[in-house]
Amino acid sequence: MLTETLFKNNNRCCLFIPLNTPKTFINVQKFIFKVELIELNEVAKEFNKVKVLSNVNIHVEDGDLFGIIGQSGSGKTTLLNILAGFIEPTFGTVSYVSKIDHQPKNLYENFHKIKRHLGFNPQHPSFYPKLTVKENLLHFGQLYGLKHETLINNAKNLLQFTQLYEHRDKLAEQLSGGMQKRLDISCSLIHKPKILFLDEPTSDLDPVMQKEIIQLIQEVNKQGVTIVIASHHLESIEKICNKLAIIHHGQVHSFGEFEEVRKPYLKNNININIKIGKDKERIIQLVKKLPVNKIVDKEDYLILYPIDTEKTLNMLNKLIKEENLYLHDIDLRKPSLAEIFAKITAEKD
């Protein structure tokens, strides 16, 4: 049985939590989820008659780790706020499907029923710097109307889960940037939401801290929390998200699983990496005859940027046989999300 002690110390309400706590903060088997899916149909948003989003048709499924990417001003944060129910679209519908009756319902008309199942973490800190870690968790839990025993249990598990237990009595302003972000995310998880919305969770963090936060986000998702994340950190989005939407000039340019999004760019955007041996100069002269845009010499291997991947590979295989060449390895590298995004943003309207 959970035991906790509340007492006054320097006019602060302190919480003692035992160390033998579970590594999870949500019991997926026992937690009853209401929101199964959020869907946007022909959604458009205008501010002062200026169109920010138009013709948006996407859906978020239960268990997704969904990424939204786009340039500054593209409308990705507006889309995140629409999905979270903070702003209504000017046109179109936003609906959710309940696991109780499996019927689609208007998100905004029923927001009062489902808001307790949603968590939101803005780009800028929402915690109180003059409160301690545990005081912040207790405060946000009380705002969600959690019962005392539930709040204590949730706070206990979150402190352990986010590795903030040893820092529970520190003022939030005394924490490192990475720990502050963990606290910020914890405050949005204190009520055990079904869906968590994150706006630029790794901004202003160094690479080490970014990695820590990305790992935390993955662990939260494994706990059964559906996550929607808007970010410009494309490498992380590609690594952790099972689905993504690329926003360009206020419209969804691409939507779906990453392989689906990447498919149109595969034909002429595959790099061919060739590991070479002693015949380097001879090989370079020979591959110049291939239909490639560019050849990059990386000392022990070459990178070919083919005009036509299939044709280049066929000609390369023919050269190997005709010239009796020995190549250590040939590697086909598909375009990354960053490369695809660069191509999309370079497209003319």
Phi and psi angles of residue 202, each rounded to the nearest 5 degrees, phi first: -110, 10
Question: Cα angle at 279 between 273 and 282, to 5 degrees?
Answer: 90
User: Given a cut of 70, is residue 240 above it in pLDDT?
Assistant: yes
- Taking alpha carbons only, the member of 247, 192, 204, 236 closest to residue 81 is 247
Beta carbons of 246 and 255 less than 8 angstroms apart:
yes
CA-CA distance, 294 to 271, in Å (whole number)? 10
Whole-number pLDDT of residue 23: 55
Topology adopted by domain 267-333: Alpha-Beta Plaits (3.30.70)
User: Given a cut of 50, is residue 18 above it in pLDDT?
Assistant: no
- H helix intervals, the chain: 76-83, 111-114, 133-143, 148-161, 177-189, 207-222, 234-240, 258-262, 280-287, 309-322, 337-346
Beta carbons of 343 and 234 less than 8 angstroms apart:
no
Determine the average pLDDT of the residues in 240-255: 95
Beta carbons of 209 and 181 less than 8 angstroms apart:
yes
- Taking alpha carbons only, the member of 28, 23, 93 closest to residue 225 is 28
| Beta carbons within 8 Å of 314's beta carbon, 6+ residues apart | none
CATH for the 1-266 domain, from 3.30.365.10, 3.90.1170.40, 3.20.20.70, 3.40.50.300: 3.40.50.300
Where b means 16+ CB within 10 Å and e means fewer, 266-296 reads eeebbbbebebeeeeeebeebbeebebeeee
- Among 116-120, 150-154, 309-313, the least confident range: 309-313
Whole-number pLDDT of residue 82: 96
Residue with the two structure tokens 């559906």: 226
Phi and psi angles of residue 306, each rounded to the nearest 5 degrees, phi first: -75, 150
Residue type, 279: D
Residues of the chain with CATH 3.30.70.980: 267-333
Residues of the chain with CATH 3.40.50.300: 1-266
Mean pLDDT value across the chain = 84
User: Given a cut of 70, is residue 124 above it in pLDDT?
Assistant: yes
Residue with the two structure tokens 């055990």: 192
User: Given a cut of 60, is residue 19 above it in pLDDT?
Assistant: no
Q: What is the pTM of this model?
A: 0.80
